[in-house]
Structure 1
Amino acid sequence: MKLNKRPLVLILSFFLITTSTLASTNPSSNTEQKEPFGIILYNQLKIDRAILELEREATDGNTESQYYLGEALRKKNRYMTPEAQHWYESAAEKNNIYAIIQLARAKNDLCAKVGNCPPSKKTPAEWFELANKLVLPKAQNGDPESLYLMYEITLNREWLEKSANAGYPTAQYWMAVSERQGEGFFLIPGKREASVKKWLLLSSEGGYPKAMMDYLQILFEEGDVVGLRHWLETAAATGDQAAISNYGAYIAHTPDKIGYPLDLVKGYALFTLLKELEDSGGIGRYVERKSEEIREKMTSEQIEKSLEVAKDWKATHPPLSFFPDKLGR
C-alpha cells in the first residue's frame, strides 16, 4: 500500500510557518556542497529561474540537473510534456534511477488520462523492469537507499521497513507517517505513538528536516522545552526555511516561546536571508512583517552587525530550501 505523502499535522499555534514538501539532506557547509545551482533554485521553489539554470546544466550533461529539469517541467505544466520526458530519458540513459521510476509512473500521469502522452522509448512496464533490474541487487546487499527505492518501485511496505531498519532517514520518516496513518499492528495502547516518535527521532538524527519538524510537534505536545530548543536549532542548520523562520523569530523573542536567550542580531540576520526566497511558497508577506517587527527593537549598529552575521551563516550553512521530495508526485 502506497502512503499518502502528506506531512504530519503541525499545531499552528506553535509553528509560525508550516513546512512545505521537503527532500532528504544532512547538514553541511556551503563550502562542501557541490549541488548545481539549478537544483538549489528548484528546492527554493523558484521554478522559472530554476528551469533556465537547469537547462544550461542539463545541456552540459549534468545527469542530476537533467532529472530535476524533467521534474520542474512536469510540475510546472502539471503533466508529462515532451520536453520533460526528453530530459527524464536523457537522465535515464545514464541509469539515473529516479528518472527511470518517474518514466515508469507515466501511466498514472495526467497525460495518460487525457490520452496525449508523448511517445516514449520504453513502455512504463519496461521502465519498471529496468528500475527493478538496477536496484534489486543493491537492495539485496542491504543498501539502505536501494531498499527504499524498491519500496517506491513495488509499493510493498516491507521494503520501506527494511530500509528504515537499515538506517535510511527518508524511509524512517515515512515509517512514522505510515504508522500515524494506521499502518502496522499495535495491540498495546501507546505503542503506536511510541513507535512514531522513535522513527521520527531516528530520521531526525539522520539529518532529515521533515522529520525534525514533525518531531518538534511531539516535543511541543510533551512540553519538552529543552528538546524543542535543540531540535529547532538543528533543523534551522539544515537550511529548512520553516525551521529558520521559527528559530529566527524565537531567538528575537517575536515571540519568546521556548526560552532562547535574546539575540536580535542573529534573528534579524536569518530573516534577511529568508528575504532571498522572495515570495516562494507564499512566505514573502510573513517574512517582511516579521523582519519589521524585529527591526523596530534594534539599533542601527545591531542592524549593521546582522548583515555580517547573515553573510557568515550563508557561507557556513546549506542553502535555504523547502526540501521538496526528490521523487515527487
Structure 2
Amino acid sequence: MKKLIIGALFTLAFTGNANAHLTPDEQAAKSRGILLFNQYKNAQLELRIAAEAGDAEAQFYLAERLRKEKRFMTVEAQKWYEKSANQSNVYAMIQLGRSDDNLCVNMGNCPASTKTPAQWLKHALDLTKPVAESGDPEAMYLMYELTLKEEWLEKSANSGYALAQYWMAIGARQGGGFFLPWKRHEAVGNWLKLSAEGGYPAAMMEYAAFIYEDQGDLKVARHWIVEAAKKGYESGVSSYGAYSAHSPSLYDFPLDRVKGYALTSLLSELDGGGDVQVYVNETLPEIAEKMTSEQILEANEFAKSWKATHPPLSFFPEKLSR
C-alpha cells in the first residue's frame, strides 16, 4: 500500500498539476494539442490555451514544441519549461538540465535561467530517487535518464516498464551488456517480446521484424504488426496496409487490397508531419491501379470505420527526446 501511495504521489510530481483547474474547453485544447504534437504537427495554438491556464503538462509539451521548432533552447521555450518544472514536472527539469548541451551553447545565445542546468538535474534527482528506490518502474527509468547508469535501466525493465525493456533490447543488439554469443540474440528477442506485450508500439514492430529475420512464426509476427496498427502507430498502420495490399508482399499477409488501400489512405491525415504524404502519394496509386472503382469505394468505407473505432494516428515520440 505504501508503494502504491508513493507511486501515485510521483505521478503527480513528474507531470505537475496535470489537468488541474482546466475548463472542459481548455482540457479539449490540451488533448488536441498533445495529439498534434504526437503527429509532428504544429500544436502551439492548442497547447498554449492549457499552458496559459496553468497546466504543467501542457506547458512541458509547448516548451518541447518551441524548442524542436528552432532546434535549440529559445527564451520562450525555457520560460514554459521553467513554469512546468516549478510545478514539480520532472520531465521539464530534465530538459532544463540538458540545456548546457544545447545548440544555443555553441551559438552563444542561451537564455538566462532561474537555476543552472546542474541545479535543475539535482532537483529532479532529489524528487525521483526516493520513488525509484521504493520500486516505481517509471521513476527507475528516469533515474537512468538522470544518471546514465545501466543498473537503473535494467531495474526499470525488470519491473515491467515497457520503454526500458525496449531500450534493453536495443542496447543488447548494439553490443551492450555481457552475454555468451548465442545468448545475446536471445536476450534481444526476450526484451522486445516483453516490451511489445507491455504495449510499446515500436517494440511490437521491432519484435515482428526480429521474428521475420529469425525465420520464426510469421503468424506471431503478423499479430504484432496488427497490434501496432490498432494502437494508431504510424509504422504499424503503414506496414499493415502495404503488406495487406502486397505492396510489397511480406510476412505472408493475405492479399486484401481493400484493407491495404484503406489503411494507406488514412496516413494522409499525417500530412505535415514526418514526410508521410510522400509515401502515400507513391503507394496509394500503385494499389489503386489493381482495384475496381467499387473496391475503392469499399476501401473508403473501411477507412471511415477504422478511424471511428481506433486511436488517432501517432508517431509515439519519446517524451524525453533530444
Is 1:257 aligned to residue 250 of structure 2? yes
In the alignment, what sits opposite 1:94?
87
Match of 1:280, SS state, is: coil
In the alignment, what sits opposite 1:40?
35
Deviations 1:205-228 (A, max 9, x none): 111111122212211112232222
Is 1:298 aligned to residue 291 of structure 2? yes
Q: CA deviation at 1:35?
A: 7.0
**Matched residues, percent identical?**
55
In the alignment, what sits opposite 1:72?
65
Q: CA deviation at 1:34?
A: 10
In the alignment, what sits opposite 2:204?
212
In the alignment, what sits opposite 1:20?
none
Task: From 192, 211, 221, give the equivalent of 2:213.
Answer: 221
In the alignment, what sits opposite 2:308?
315
Residues 316 and 250 of structure 1: is their aligned pair in 2 closer, same or farther, counting only changes over 3 Å? same
Is 1:156 aligned to residue 146 of structure 2? no
The one-letter code sitting in structure 2 at the alignment partner of 1:226 is K
TM-score by length of 1: 0.85
Q: CA deviation at 1:160?
A: 0.4
Q: CA deviation at 1:62?
A: 2.8
Asked if the contact 1:279–1:285 (Cα under 8 Å) also holds between the matched residues in 2, the reply is no
Deviations 1:113-157 (A, max 9, x none): 333211111111211121012111111110000000011111111
Is 1:270 aligned to residue 301 of structure 2? no
**Which deviates the most, 140-149 or 100-109?**
100-109
Asked if the contact 2:40–2:272 (Cα under 8 Å) also holds between the matched residues in 1, the reply is no
**What is the rounded CA distance, in whole Å, between the counterparts of 2:257 and 2:30 in structure 1?**
31
**What is the rounded CA distance, in whole Å, between the counterparts of 1:258 and 1:37 in structure 2?**
35
Asked if the contact 2:212–2:251 (Cα under 8 Å) also holds between the matched residues in 1, the reply is no
**Which deviates the most, 141-150 or 273-282?**
273-282
Structure 2 runs not aligned, ≥5 long: 1-27
The one-letter code sitting in structure 1 at the alignment partner of 2:215 is G
| Structure with the largest fraction of helix | 2
Task: From 135, 138, 147, give the equivalent of 1:145.
Answer: 138
In the alignment, what sits opposite 2:10?
none
**What is the rounded CA distance, in whole Å, between the counterparts of 1:281 and 1:228 in structure 2?**
25
**Which deviates the most, 276-285 or 188-197?**
276-285
**What is the rounded CA distance, in whole Å, between the counterparts of 1:40 and 1:302 in structure 2?**
31
Deviations 1:140-191 (A, max 9, x none): 11000000001111111110000000000000011111112222111x2211
**1:19-38 equivalence runs, <5 A:** 36-38=31-33
Structure 1 runs not aligned, ≥5 long: 1-32
**What is the rounded CA distance, in whole Å, between the counterparts of 1:293 and 1:139 in structure 2?**
51
In the alignment, what sits opposite 1:233?
226
The one-letter code sitting in structure 1 at the alignment partner of 2:32 is F
In the alignment, what sits opposite 1:8?
none
Deviations 1:47-94 (A, max 9, x none): xx2122222232233322211111111111111101000111111121
**What is the rounded CA distance, in whole Å, between the counterparts of 1:171 and 1:35 in structure 2?**
27
Q: How many pairs were matched up? A: 294
Task: From 311, 317, 320, give the equivalent of 1:324.
Answer: 317
**What is the rounded CA distance, in whole Å, between the counterparts of 2:260 and 2:29 in structure 1?**
28
Deviations 1:270-295 (A, max 9, x none): 11210111152222122122111222
Is 1:201 aligned to residue 196 of structure 2? no
In the alignment, what sits opposite 2:3?
none
Match of 1:281, SS state, is: coil
Residues 66 and 270 of structure 1: is their aligned pair in 2 closer, same or farther, counting only changes over 3 Å? same
**What is the rounded CA distance, in whole Å, between the counterparts of 1:120 and 1:232 in structure 2?**
44
**Which deviates the most, 67-76 or 212-221?**
212-221
Which is bigger in relative contact order (C-alpha 8 A, separation at least 6)?
1
**What is the rounded CA distance, in whole Å, between the counterparts of 2:33 and 2:99 in structure 1?**
24
The one-letter code sitting in structure 2 at the alignment partner of 1:198 is N
In the alignment, what sits opposite 2:181?
189
